[in-house]
Every structure is written in structure tokens, then in C-alpha cells.
Amino acid sequence: MNTTSGQAVQRNALQAIPQAILWQEAGKTKTSIWHAENETPAPKRVQIADDSMKADMAHKLICEGTALLWRGDFQNAKLLMQAISRRIDRPGKKPKKSPANITEAFHQHRQAQSHKARILGMLLIEVSVGYHINLRRAPDIKAACEHAYGKSTQAFVASLRELLGLIGAYEWHKNGVETPAINGKIYPSYGVFSPIRGEYLNLVDTAPLPVQCNLAFDIGTGTGVLAAILAHRGIKNIIATDNAQRALDCAQKNIQQLDMNNTVTIMHADLFPADVYGKADLIVCNPPWLPARPSSVLESAVYDENSNMLKGFLNGLKAHLNDTGEGWLILSDFAEHLGLRTREALTGWIDAAGLKVIDKMDTKATHSKTLDASDPLHSARKAEITSLWRLGKQ
């Protein structure tokens, strides 16, 4: 899903107004900058921990609200986090109440994920200026941090979980994602949704283009992958918009890497380009698929509170589309299977926006979670269909 949200992710989050984190060490009060991409506040209680701390004690302290600032071996910190994770997942003494339906199962699942993230986020690492971790067997995180945050200007404390996620995202960025529709790779950035679900890319690659297609808009471009597919299909003028700076930077780099600068223009906009750019022959949008509130800006590629982006796209489409043009809405019906949105609501929004459905192309979800029967949302994932809705003016 292309990433866009009501809150622009800053290019260098460490330059935002910082929070301080304080702790006692060696008889002194120490302080540093607190950094959390998920915008969680700095822990109020912090205790020094090292290799001598057992997992049961660490889990107990964290559950009581005490964060652990790690001073031991870095790889042992990873093992401790894994051990805490197993304790979180361990069934409790009292059986959890079974959800009454799939919608309740979804909300329980999100609550469990949020709880687990909060607990695991309480194991902390101090990072010095220059993005150095002064721990035994610590990895070199400088390149990954500079890619996500920009140049180092100050020391900070962050959760081990966040740093590991950052390292993993940097590996995705370095390796790239093979994208057959462009005969090349897309390189996602930290905080920008990776186009790993090829089924929706195939829809954009195979849907019939309007007879006249000289100008196209890609709304909420994210990595720029859909704009790149349209350019690869021969459209000569494409404007790709997003309101998140990381997405704009990521898309620009991908378009440069693919040598599409003369075809694709990356532009900051909340949704549609300014009227001065005229009306388009084709407008594509792949909004977040689930109408729920994101818990952080990093979740804004997945969750679209009150379907705000989806409705904004539909309501603005007619005014920005040529009379013979088409709007392509790429959307999964996962929300429908979860009871979060009905098909009638979606078609009602389309009709109310003065639009008609020209055609709808469907494809089954093929991601690995469709095969995991232990997933509490498995029935919905297995039934999921991703569609490209071809919309025109009424």
C-alpha cells in the first residue's frame, strides 16, 4: 500500500522538539534525548541492566513500568528480548475470552500487538553521536541510521526493538524489491511501505489504459512503484504526490534510479496536484486498506482512520479527471471480511462522488499469512481479494 497520512513524517525526526530521558547510574543522574519513531513518550522509570539480569526479572520490571537501559553484550540484549517475547506469548492462567466474531478478533489482535510492542519497546539502547553503540558485539548502525534519520547531531536513547527494525529496513533498502512489472527493483526506505505484495502491482500492470492517456496522477505514491509501472507502460507525463517527506525522498530516488526523471514528477501534495497541472486521463490511488486509527505515523500506510484518504480520493476524483478519463482505485476487501467496512458503503461513496464503475479486476491474496491457520485473522486473510476498480464520471 502506498504510504500517505495526515501527519507528514519528518525527514530527520531527531531534529524535532526532543524529549529527555533520565536515569541513575554510578551515583549520578544522567540524561539523554529520547527518540521513538512510534511517538511513545519517554519512560519515567529507567533502571540499568546487563548480562546478569534474568528474563523473568526483566519481564517483571518492564510489566511494572520500569524500562531497562542495557549495559551488557548487545547480542545478549537481543536474546533477552526474544525471551521476554516468549513470556508475553505464553498463555496465561486464565483462558482468554474467545472473540464473538471476526471484528472482535481483529480488535483483540491489535490490542495484543500494541501490548507486545509496548513491553518489548522498554528494553533500551544508548546511541552516541555518530550513531555508535558502545556495547560488546554491537553492530555498525551508522549507515542504517543516516538513511533513516540523516546525519548524526546528538546522542540519544531508543528501544532495541526500534533499532533492530531500522537495521532490517535498511537491508530491504540495500537489496531492493524485485518488481517484474518494471523489469527492475524498487528500493523502499525506512518508514515507507515496501511493495512486497505483487498481486496489486500486477493489476496496475495489466489493466487496460484509457484510449487517451497523456497525463496520469499517482496519489499517495509511497516508494513511487505505481508511477514507475505507469511510466514503464508508456505514459509520458506522470505526477506522483505524497504528503510524507520520507516517501517523497524515497520515490525521488527510485525514479532517478530507474532513469524516469523526464517522465515522472514527484510532488508534495495532500492528495491531488494543484489545478494548474490540469485534468488527468488516468488517476491511480492505493490507499491504506483498513479503516482504523493508526497507533503511530509508521502505521499510516496500513490504517486509514474513518477511511479519510479513501473518501478524499473518491470525492476529489471527478474534479481532477478528464471527461473520458479513468480513476483506478486499488483496494483489498480485507476490511469487509473483518466487518470494518461494507461493500455497500464503498459503492455508496463511489456513487455519491458522481462516479460509475467501468470494470473491476480481482486477484486473490498470495502473501504468506493466507497459509497460517494459527493466525486469529486467518479466515479473513484466506478470503481476501484485491481489486482494481476502474472508475469514470457518471
Mean pLDDT of 152-162: 95
Q: Which helix (H) or strand (E) holds 142?
A: helix 142-149
Query: What pLDDT is attached to residue 312?
Result: 97
Mean pLDDT of 25-36: 96
Are 60 and 207 members of one domain? Answer: no
129 assigned to some structural domain = yes
6 assigned to some structural domain = no
Q: What is the pLDDT of residues 304-319, one digit of tens each?
A: 999 999 999 999 999 9
Highest averaged pLDDT of the listed ranges 58-62, 89-93, 364-368: 58-62
Are 264 and 217 members of one domain? Answer: yes
Per-residue pLDDT band for 78 (boundaries 50, 70, 90) equals very high
271 assigned to some structural domain = yes
Are 166 and 131 members of one domain? Answer: yes
Are 216 and 153 members of one domain? Answer: no
Q: What is the pLDDT of residues 343-354, one digit of tens each?
A: 999 999 999 999
- Residue 92: is its pLDDT beyond 80? no
> Cα–Cα distance between 31 and 80 in angstroms, integer?
24
Q: What is the pLDDT of residues 355-382, one digit of tens each?
A: 999 999 999 988 777 778 888 898 999 9
> Cα–Cα distance between 196 and 301 in angstroms, integer?
13
Query: What pLDDT is attached to residue 14?
Result: 43
Are 168 and 184 members of one domain? Answer: no
Query: What pLDDT is attached to residue 96?
Result: 65
Are 231 and 374 members of one domain? Answer: yes
- E runs forming strands in the chain: 19-25, 28-34, 45-49, 66-70, 123-127, 156-159, 177-179, 184-186, 215-219, 237-242, 264-268, 280-285, 321-332, 355-364, 385-393
By CB neighbour count within 10 A (0-12 exposed, 13-18 middle, 19+ buried), where does 280 fall? buried
Tell me which residue of 245, 184, 247 sits closest to 218, measured CA to CA. Answer: 247
- Residue 99: is its pLDDT beyond 60? yes
238 assigned to some structural domain = yes
Q: What is the pLDDT of residues 104-144, one digit of tens each?
A: 999 999 999 999 999 999 999 999 999 999 999 999 999 99
Query: What pLDDT is attached to residue 17?
Result: 58
Per-residue pLDDT band for 22 (boundaries 50, 70, 90) equals very high
Q: What is the pLDDT of residues 255-269, one digit of tens each?
A: 999 999 999 999 999
Are 209 and 294 members of one domain? Answer: yes
- Residue 328: is its pLDDT beyond 90? yes
350: which 3 cell numbers?
Answer: 463511489
360 assigned to some structural domain = yes
Q: What is the pLDDT of residues 268-289, one digit of tens each?
A: 999 999 999 999 999 999 999 9
Are 157 and 298 members of one domain? Answer: no
pTM (2 d.p.):
0.89
Q: Packing angle between helix 225-232 and helix 198-206, nearest 10 degrees? A: 30
- Residue 388: is its pLDDT beyond 70? yes
In the chain, what percentage of residues exceed pLDDT 70?
Answer: 94
- Residue 157: is its pLDDT beyond 50? yes
- Residue 18: is its pLDDT beyond 80? no
Mean pLDDT of 288-296: 87
Among 89-93, 144-148, 223-227, 290-294, name the one with the lowest average pLDDT: 89-93
> Cα–Cα distance between 266 and 249 in angstroms, integer?
9
4 assigned to some structural domain = no
Average pLDDT of the residues of the chain: 92
What total of structural domains would you count in the chain?
A: 2
> Domain of 376?
179-393
Per-residue pLDDT band for 226 (boundaries 50, 70, 90) equals very high
Query: What pLDDT is attached to residue 94?
Result: 55
Query: What pLDDT is attached to residue 41?
Result: 94
Are 45 and 164 members of one domain? Answer: yes
Are 166 and 232 members of one domain? Answer: no
95 assigned to some structural domain = no
- DSSP, collapsed to helix, strand or coil, labels residue 184 as strand
Domain-ending residue, one of 132, 155, 172: 172
Query: What pLDDT is attached to residue 8?
Result: 39
33: which 3 cell numbers?
Answer: 534525548
- What DSSP assignment string belongs to 5-50? -SSPPPS-GGGS-PEEEEEEETTEEEEEEE--TT-PPPPSEEEEE-
Domain-ending residue, one of 139, 155, 172: 172
3 assigned to some structural domain = no
Domain-ending residue, one of 139, 172, 205: 172
Are 131 and 214 members of one domain? Answer: no
Query: What pLDDT is attached to residue 53?
Result: 97
Judging by DSSP bridges, how do beta strands 28-34 and 280-285 pair with one another? unpaired
For residue 198, the domain's CATH number is: 3.40.50.150
Are 214 and 334 members of one domain? Answer: yes
Contact 287, 3 (CB under 8 A): no
In the chain, what percentage of residues exceed pLDDT 90?
Answer: 82
